[in-house]
Structure formats: C-alpha cells, structure tokens
Amino acid sequence: DAGEHESFMHKEILEQPAAAERVMRGRLNDRFATGHLGGLNLDARELRAIRRVKVLGCGSAYYVGEMGATLIEELARIPASAEAASEFRYRNPIIEPDTLYVAVSQSGETIDTLLAVQEIRRKGGRVIGLVNVVGSAIAREVDGGIYLHAGPEVAVASTKALTNMFLGFAMLALQLGRVRDLSIADGRRLIAGLNALPGKIEQVLATEERLEAIAERLAAAESLFFVGRVRGFPVAREGAQKFKEISYRHAEAYQTSELKHGPLALISPAVPTVAIVPDDELVERNVAALHEIAARGGPLVVVTHDDVELQGLDAERVVVPRTERELDPILLTIPLQLLAYHAAKHLGHDIDKPRNLAKSVTVE
Ligand code: BG6
C-alpha cells in the first residue's frame, strides 16, 4: 500500500526529486559536456546520420513526447515531432531509414505503442525506447533505449515516470546536439541546469499548501482551460489531461495564441483558465492574451517565474524556480500535478484508480 501516504499519486509526486537524480546518475559526461546514454546502441556516426526524430506514445507519454521533440529541435536542430502512437500505423506512415523513432511508455505494455514499434521495425525502421519497466514488451522489442529508473509507479496518473521521461529526452537531445553544432558552453550550461533540477523540483513541491487552496477553487468549476505556447503548450496539454482524468472536470488545453480564433467565446466568470507563462521570448504576447480573458471575467491562475510583469492582470500567481529555458517545461508541469491531485481529493474521488481508466491499456 501507499504506507503513510494518503495515496500512491501523492507518494509518487513527492518521490520526483529522488527519481530525477536516479535517471541522470552516470549519464552526463562533464568532460565533453554531453549525454552518456549507453543503451542507445548508436555510435557517433549513426547519431550524426539521423535526419529526423519521431516520438510516439499515448496519454501523458505522448504529451511529454511533444516536450521531448521540442527539446531535440532546440538543442540538436533536428526536425522532431510527436504523435499519438494509437493513430500512427493507421495512416500508413512512411518509415525512413534516417529517422530515429522514439517509443515512450512507463509500463512498456501499452498495446498501441507496442504495435507502432512493431510496424516501424517491420518496415526496417530504427526505434529506441524510453521505458520505465525493465524487461517489458516494448523494452524487449526496441533496438536500444533509456530505462527511466523512476521506480514502480502505481497511480494511474503518471507523475514521476513522466518527469524522468522529460529528463531522458533532455539527455538524448544533449547527446544528439553535441555530435552536431551544440557548443561545449551550451552543453555545460544544460548539464548544470539538469544537475540543479532535483533541488528545484523540491522547491515546487514545497508550495503544495498554496496549490491546494487554488485547486479547491478550481474544483468548483465544471469546465476549465489550460493554455500555453511553444514549450508551454505540451505542459498545458499534460495539465489538462491530469485534471480531467482524476477530477472528472472538463479541462481543455489550447494554444494561448489560438484563443482569439474560437474558444474566447466560452470564457466567462464560470470558466477558469490555468495559463503557462514562462519568462521566455513570448512572455509579453502571453500576458496580452491573458488580458483578453480577464476582460471577459475569466478567473486566471498563471504559472510563471518571479518578476514576470503581468501588467495589472487580476490573476492568482504560481511561481516556479528559474532554470535553463529549454528545461522550463518540467518545472512548470509539477504544480499542475498538485492542482489536479488536490482538486480530485477535494471532490472525494479515488485518485489512484480513476473511473474508466487503467494504468496500462493492453487491448487496442
Ligand atoms: C493510459 C494511462 O491509458 O496509458 C495514462 O491512463 C498513460 O496515464 C498512458 O499516460 C500511457 O501509458 P504508458 O505505460 O505507455 O506510459
């Protein structure tokens, strides 16, 4: 059982700093400022020959796959995208020999992801896995990969495995980048950022009480938006997914930039928005879009960095520590886990076993 913890999900949220340390242990090379991922089974020439990266996963693994694709494009400048593994093989995908396919799965047993892997390999493609469960079906099927070392994850809603998936992608992106044009200075900057992350995750977890109070207010709403842009959009998608799967409230993720092209019509005092607003290139545009929500009476929770100028916006501010810009998504994700968790708890739901869902779905 969950021991002294009120649920496995809560236990697993709190385990994230230790889990993050485990996934990085021995996998960062300081001398050459690169990732050192022994299990990829790809030498430097093969790493350099990769022209495209395609990430496949389901649910949270798909959303963290989008975060990972963004990291790979930013650090390695290789075109990268993520796709729901459940859809992949039904559009007769073109499998290319110079594409690296990455299958992401906590359990390693999700049938949709496994079938995508088998389809790729059947057509001669190369697949690596980001998998938590050692010896699982996907782990056995891939050409190489990165074990996540998150420890057993019991709650249906993924938390520590997802964090370690992100870190796995960061190390992979670093390694792909450092056989290309990512400088040693940038490599060092990222390694320092990665090493500091477990302590910063701890700092986010220390704000739980405040997040609990906000979550109780959000739980009263029948419908919510989660919005973000670029690095922040997969964070919003993951936040909405967590919220809907355990609180049973309608939570919809949207690009902040697209609000004005439709969903703004739904904004009212009854529909809160959780906005992801890191202090990045888009911060001013993001804040301007949030003023459009406030003008329609929409309650706002803004997940952001300290000193971000909200221009008088009437909003509840949730501050996460600064890190390297590329690594922002993971620190922005952690408060959303706690918002979903406390909303569900407040509503009295079975947090570890939400209705209609299974931890791993082994039928198509
Ligand atoms: C689901 C779970 O159906 O499977 C999600 O409800 C999870 O929480 C998804 O993200 C993928 O699971 P896995 O084991 O492949 O990472």
Q: For 70-107, what is each residue's pLDDT tens digit?
A: 999 999 999 999 999 999 999 999 999 999 999 999 99
Q: How far is the CA of 58 from the centre of ligand 1 (A)?
A: 6
Please name which of 353, 352, 361 lies closest in space to residue 13, comparing C-alpha atoms. Answer: 352
Q: How many helices (H) and strands (E) does the chain have?
A: 13, 12
Cα gap 164→148, rounded to integer Å: 6
Residue nearest to atom 9 of ligand 1 (CA): 59
Tell me, what's the pLDDT at 2?
A: 75
Stated as kind and residue range, the H or E segment containing 302 is strand 300-304
Please name which of 53, 40, 143, 48 lies closest in space to residue 99, comparing C-alpha atoms. Answer: 53
Q: How far is the CA of 264 from the centre of ligand 1 (A)?
A: 31
Contact assessment for residue 133 and residue 139, using Cβ atoms and an 8 Å cutoff: yes
Interface confidence, given as ipTM, is: 0.93
Q: For 136-175, what is each residue's pLDDT tens digit?
A: 999 999 999 999 999 999 888 999 999 999 999 999 999 9
Please state the φ and ψ torsions of residue 92, each to the nearest 5 degrees.
45, 65
Q: For 265-287, what is each residue's pLDDT tens digit?
A: 899 999 999 999 999 999 999 99
Is the pTM for the entire model greater than 0.90? yes
Q: How far is the CA of 61 from the centre of ligand 1 (A)?
A: 7
For residue 207, pLDDT over 80 is answered with yes
Q: Which residues contact 264 (CB under 8 A, 6 or more apart)?
A: 292, 293, 296
| Cα distances (Å, whole numbers) of residue 348 to 216, 276, 341, 344 | 11, 27, 11, 6
Q: Which atom of ligand 1 is nearest to the CA of 59?
A: 10
Residue nearest to atom 5 of ligand 1 (CA): 59
pLDDT band (50, 70, 90) for residue 29:
very high
